């Protein structure tokens, strides 16, 4: 198992572990993955992670299209980031993945696209 896969497996066990996201970010930075590192640090600072479904699924929501306070704020993403997530099953205001690691990888990939399009994340 690669270190990347190990971090994803650990996040599966403790998706709310902000310190683990920070360690993962450090590893990404040390391994020439600066966009992943930036995303993971933002996720830790903003307390973001995919919503865990009962069947082990992972879901991200478009914060700009749902009513505030409805659901799971930790899985609400800014529209500029949410729109660039690929894969999973798309619904009107959320995207569901077969697993939490798939959801984690999807937002990491979307991060670079959003940043290249000019999106500046809230600090």
DSSP string, 66-123: S-TTSS-GGGEE-HHHHTT--SSEE-SSEEEESSHHHHHHHHHHHHHHHHHTT-----
pLDDT at residue 72 greater than cutoff 90: no
Question: 85 pLDDT band (50/70/90 cuts)?
Answer: very high
| pLDDT value at residue 48 | 95
| CA 97 to chain centroid | 12
pTM: 0.91
pLDDT class of 17 with cuts at 50, 70, 90: confident
27 backbone dihedrals φ, ψ, rounded to 5° = -60, -45
Do residues 97 and 57 make contact, with C-beta atoms less than 8 angstroms apart? Answer: yes
């Amino acid at each position: 198992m690669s270190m990347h896969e190990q971090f994803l497996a650990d996040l599966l066990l403790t998706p709310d572990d902000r310190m683990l996201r920070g360690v993962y970010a450090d590893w990404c930075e040390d391994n020439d993955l600066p966009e992943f590192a930036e995303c993971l640090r933002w996720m830790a600072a903003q307390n973001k992670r995919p919503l865990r479904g009962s069947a082990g699924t992972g879901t991200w929501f478009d914060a700009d299209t749902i009513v505030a306070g409805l659901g799971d704020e930790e899985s609400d993403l800014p529209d500029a980031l949410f729109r660039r997530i690929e894969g999973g099953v798309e619904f009107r205001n959320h995207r569901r993945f077969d697993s939490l690691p798939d959801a984690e990888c999807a937002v990491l990939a979307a991060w670079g696209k959003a940043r290249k399009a000019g999106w500046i994340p809230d600090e």
